[in-house]
Amino acid sequence: MALTDASDELERKRAESNARADEHRAKRDKLNAEARAVADERGRILDELHARSAEAQDHRRHRDQLNADVREAKRLREEWNRKLQELGDKVQELKRARAPRPGAVPVWRLRKELKELEFRHMTTALTGDQEKRLVEEMKRLEAALREQDAELRQDPEVEATLKAFQEARDEAERHHAAVGQLAEDAQREHETMVQLYELVDELRRQADEVQAKLITVKSAADEEHRAHIAAIEEVRDLEKMLYAARGGRAPPSWADAEPPREEDFLARLKKGEKVSTEDLLELQKSGRA
């Protein structure tokens, strides 16, 4: 019977389409699972990227603040150095203005002699007795300087100026040390910031690679989904034809159509060409089975 042969052929084709639909669905599901894993990886990379970027910005802000502190410390150092110079000049002026007691050697000459002896002690080969006498003379000069310094300090103006001079020196040294420490801290913050930005660049490159992979996998999943839908639609079309081949009634609009010839119908079916439900209904209605 022609319709029996047609039904068998349609059953075979429906089974093939079902198998093809299952295959495409399995591939689609596998690709979607891979896409989710890739998306999770991209999310992890982006989270780390954002965290490292925020950390780098914190270090940059800290570096900028430290650089501002360095500039302020330099300004204060220069200010105290000027004060130190001014007070030093005032101390020397006061010392020159205060004549030593009668018979005392001026301070400037004591200092000059002491420097000459110190230079001689460092650069000249001396016998034991010569070195001993030289050291004793140096000690005598140092004692004379201390004595005159103590006498000068009895003058309230000299004492106040010397005290201000020492305070200025301490402040200048403190700000000089601050410049060095702050500059070192700023450099350390800068190096950390650079390392973090390099890491951010690497993470961005990784994120771009993962994004490209995600697009590829998702596109493949979409293609498999479309193929799955097409196979499902093909199964439904074949089921409609099987329904017609097994005695389904055709809609009235098909009544005037020219019935297909049996040999043409089977030839088309076996070639894999698509035949319509209308052809099957017409063939059945014509009674050629």
- The answer to whether residues 102 and 151 touch, using CB atoms and an 8 Å cutoff, is no
The pLDDT value recorded for residue 250 is 40
Residues composing the chain: 289
Distances (CA, A) of 217 to 21, 38, 41, 73, 289: 19, 9, 14, 58, 50
Given pLDDT bands bounded at 50, 70 and 90, which one contains residue 276? low
Placement of tokens 């020492």 in the chain: 166
Placement of tokens 């490292």 in the chain: 52
Placement of tokens 């014509």 in the chain: 286
Instruction: Give the pLDDT confidence of 135-158 residue by residue, as tens digits.
Output: 998 998 888 888 777 777 777 888
The pTM score is 0.59
The pLDDT value recorded for residue 154 is 76
The pLDDT value recorded for residue 124 is 86
- The answer to whether residues 239 and 274 touch, using CB atoms and an 8 Å cutoff, is no
Does the domain spanning 2-98+155-285 belong to CATH 1.10.287.2610? yes
Distances (CA, A) of 278 to 118, 245, 250, 253, 262: 125, 10, 7, 10, 13
Pick the more confident residue, 265 or 63: 63
Residue of 150, 183, 229, 199 lying closest to 52 (CA atoms)? 199
Instruction: Give the pLDDT confidence of 190-207 residue by residue, as tens digits.
Output: 999 999 999 999 999 999
| 113 pLDDT more than 60 | yes
Task: Please give the mean pLDDT across all residues of the chain.
Answer: 83
Cα(285)–Cα(289) distance, integer angstroms = 9
What is the mean pLDDT of the segment spanning 253-280?
Answer: 50
| 216 pLDDT more than 90 | yes
Give the chain's end-to-end CA distance (angstroms, integer): 5
